[in-house]
Structure 1
Amino acid sequence: MSDTGLIVRIAAKGDGVTADGRHMPLSAPGDRIAEDGALIHGPEHVEPPCRHFPECGGCQLQHVGDDAYARYVSDRVAGALAGQGVAAGTVLPAHVSPPETRRRASLRAMRMGKHVVLGFAEEGSHRIVDMEMCCILHPRLFVLVAPLRGLLGSMIAERSAAHVRMSLTDQGVDLLLEGVTAEGLAAREALTEFARAHGLARLTLDDGYGPQACWEPEPVTVSFGGVAVAFPPYAFLQATADGEAVLADAVRPAVEGVAAFADLFCGLGTFALTLGAGKAVYAAEAGRDLVLALKASAGRSGRKLAADHRDLFRRPLSPDELNRFGAIILDPPRAGAREQAAQLARSKVPVIGYISCNPGSFARDAVTLIEGGYRLESVKPVGQFRWSTHVELAGIFRR
């Protein structure tokens, strides 16, 4: 008789699932549900490293051991593909980012009397968990949490919320404060002194009228493939440097030996620049500020790169446009690339490298490409958001 109380896998939202389909929060594979409903821990159930778990919404799976978590990352990808009837030639081993490597974060802040509460929101709630430690943030980001409480005390109205958005750039931490007010000379001087004292790359304030830089000793950049690109405040950046490198390496075979490729949904040029040395690259992106930054940087570096401001949801590249390239790289948002995938399926492009932050929309688009004559050669599961249920991947399709 099978052990129906045994936790055999982790569901997409993080609950453990028994052999007979019951869900149990905060359980790990190998745990058992006793007859009285108690959870008996198994060998893959570990002590969470952070005192804020599980209240803090930054992590959902700190109670799961490293091997079990890596399997979860792989299973999320394999399950999404299986759900659409898609078979991959090779599912490569999952990559999981180490602790304390997250280089981009959005925290919430609220003033409660004389104290500022600052941290991630509780899972499924607006309540902010006041952050005293963090096992995912890069130390250069976390070190600012305590000083920010002091800075924000006079800039947030009682029981009003603000956002603290941080990114690690070439010059250091880029800090964007939203929903705060800094009226008068003393408040502005406090911002400048804070930025100077903590060595910020830039401090930007958005009080509801758009971002305004209060401190930027030199232009803030992020670099891809050795090319520095101007970085708009809290622009998109892959969550970890190691995750970015793994995603790029996973699709690198798609552009090997090709003279020209297109990078669609290119952002600031993460993959266009990393993979594009010595090649002609067409890069398309709907965000105007991102395109302008990429275009300027490509020009200064001498790269053969044409950056195009183009909404690929409303105006995807047609088969005739796509057929000019030896390969296509695309990295769409969570919704996927339904419209562009339909055009790719009708094209003659030999190979496609598809980076995705949503296994579900990737699998849906994979069906479209396979029906158009492609095969899914390989997929690489990636867990940049360690201990969370957010899973990414990179796949290669060939005709």
Structure 2
Amino acid sequence: MTTVTIERLGQQGDGIAPGPIFVPLALPGEVVSGILDGTHLTELRIDTPSADRVSPPCPHFRSCGGCQMQHASDQLVADWKRDIVVIALKSVGLEADIRPTVTSSDRSRRRAVFAARRTKKGAMAGFHARKSDAIIPVPDCILVTPALLTGLKLSEDLALVGTSRKAELAVTVTDSLEGLDVAVTGGKPLDGPLRITLAALCEQYRLARLTWDDELIGMRVPPAQRMGKAQVVPPPGSFLQATEHGQMKLTDLVKEIVGSAKSVADLFAGCGTFALPLAESAEVHAVEGSSEMMYALDVGWRQAQGLKRVTTETRDLFRRPLLPDELSRFDAVVIDPPRAGAAAQIAELAVAQVPVIAHVSCNPQTFARDAETLCNAGYVLDWVQPVDQFRWSAHVELVGAFRLAHIAA
């Protein structure tokens, strides 16, 4: 047996001891023992537990891979996620006011991807076990909304009729204003009998919408999502903020940064998470690579009341970022890129010198890289707000407030 003392948490939530030795489910300050397998300690025994160690609130935690941090206190997790942002910025020589982490509650995740597979006796659905393709049923999951849990039985029924025992379905279930919005991938090719069976399941479970490998099976009612004063029907399986609370908090932060700007560019706009609420007080130009998302945003804007003008543009911002002469007409820019960040677009923003930038990110490392580019071009990073929509996970989201150095905070 090897005994070590945990010094800190890694970015994936593992405890790290000198070496480094990685110890899953261990916390800083704990003395732990186990069998050393390369750089990892297995068959863990907690000799001296941390004061921040708690009993996992979910009965599935030990086997399910959906959560990584239920064994730690809420305050430790919130501080750890804030520290990840601090360390990322320090790695590029930056400091800022890092606000305390804001965390969504349990049972608030409105979207989940369930794995489903046929078995000898029927079917099973749930999340994958840690570092495994084994499916763990999670009937008492405390992460997702109660409505989403009904998608587990649906996922089993979909596997029974739509896949072989060698294959696995990915069932994306989203809690919309009108019921569950379900998008399935990995199933059998559609034929007449399968279409009829799937349509019957759509009616049986009173689904808002069901799609099968991007083909619409049935839509009883458009699965709308609220975005400010507007309601938007996203394309099947498209990006959506993980919790309603998180979406509202991110929107409030973006509004705080944009302030009284009268013209705003929303880059990587999705279906209008920020563009539509901002249109309550400013004209907005929304840019996104998906024409389907742009269409959904436009329809939502046209059907809403009391919003200022919103224009849309389908454009690949990785290959064709907006250029300085296109950006110069805006008072503020909102940018919410994928995990890879937006190096090309940030470089153009640095040249354009737009007065105010609200940078939303789901990756502290690429955010820090983008922040360095902007700060080297004369911007000040006033503050960063970590937002934890993915409770008990290693995932960190944030919003950063940038302004040109000569503009008063």
- Corresponding position of 1:296: 299
- Corresponding position of 1:214: 217
Query: Which deviates the most, 35-44 or 69-78?
Result: 35-44
- Corresponding position of 2:15: 16
Question: What CA distance in whole angstroms lies between the structure 2 residues aligned with 1:389 and 1:323?
Answer: 37
- More RCO (CA 8 Å, sep 6+): 1
Q: Does 1:315 align with 2:332?
A: no
What's the offset of the Cα at 1:287?
0.8
Query: Which deviates the most, 20-29 or 270-279?
Result: 20-29
What's the offset of the Cα at 1:304?
0.3
TM-aligned CA distance change 1:35 to 1:57, over 3 Å: closer
Q: Does 1:347 align with 2:349?
A: no
Unpaired segments ≥5 residues, structure 1: none
Tell me, yes or no, if the aligned pair for 1:30 and 1:44 is still in contact at 8 Å: no
Q: Does 1:127 align with 2:134?
A: yes
Question: What CA distance in whole angstroms lies between the structure 2 residues aligned with 1:153 and 1:199?
Answer: 19
What's the offset of the Cα at 1:296?
2.4
1:77-88 correspondence to structure 2 within 5 Å = 77-88=85-96
Question: What CA distance in whole angstroms lies between the structure 1 residues aligned with 2:273 and 2:355?
Answer: 22
Q: Does 1:52 align with 2:60?
A: yes
Q: Does 1:388 align with 2:397?
A: no
1:193-342 correspondence to structure 2 within 5 Å = 193-206=200-213, 211-301=214-304, 303-342=308-347
TM-aligned CA distance change 1:290 to 1:43, over 3 Å: same
**Root-mean-square deviation (CA), in Å?**
2.1
SS at match of 2:128: coil
Q: Does 1:113 align with 2:120?
A: yes
Question: What CA distance in whole angstroms lies between the structure 1 residues aligned with 2:218 and 2:296?
Answer: 20
Tell me, yes or no, if the aligned pair for 1:221 and 1:228 is still in contact at 8 Å: yes
What's the offset of the Cα at 1:35?
10
Q: Does 1:74 align with 2:77?
A: no
Tell me, yes or no, if the aligned pair for 1:164 and 1:177 is still in contact at 8 Å: yes
Tell me, yes or no, if the aligned pair for 2:278 and 2:284 is still in contact at 8 Å: no
SS at match of 1:355: strand
Query: Which deviates the most, 187-196 or 64-73?
Result: 187-196
Query: Which deviates the most, 216-225 or 47-56?
Result: 47-56
1:180-236 deviations in Å (ceiling 9; x for gaps): 248676644443333233221112222xxxx22222122232221111122211111
Return the letter of the residue paired with 2:298.
K
- Corresponding position of 1:374: 379
Q: 1:91 aligns with which of 74, 95, 98?
A: 98
Return the letter of the residue paired with 2:358.
G
- Corresponding position of 1:101: 108
SS at match of 1:339: helix
Return the letter of the residue paired with 1:388.
S
Instruction: Figure out how many residues of one structure are paired with residues of the other and give that number.
Output: 391
Question: What CA distance in whole angstroms lies between the structure 2 residues aligned with 1:97 and 1:358?
Answer: 18
Unpaired segments ≥5 residues, structure 2: 36-43, 405-409
- Identity percentage over the alignment? 38
Return the letter of the residue paired with 1:314.
R
TM-aligned CA distance change 1:22 to 1:160, over 3 Å: closer
Tell me, yes or no, if the aligned pair for 2:254 and 2:274 is still in contact at 8 Å: no
Question: What CA distance in whole angstroms lies between the structure 1 residues aligned with 2:50 and 2:19?
Answer: 18
Query: Which deviates the most, 128-137 or 262-271?
Result: 128-137
1:249-277 deviations in Å (ceiling 9; x for gaps): 12212221111010000000100112221
TM-score w.r.t. length of structure 1 = 0.92
Tell me, yes or no, if the aligned pair for 1:29 and 1:68 is still in contact at 8 Å: no
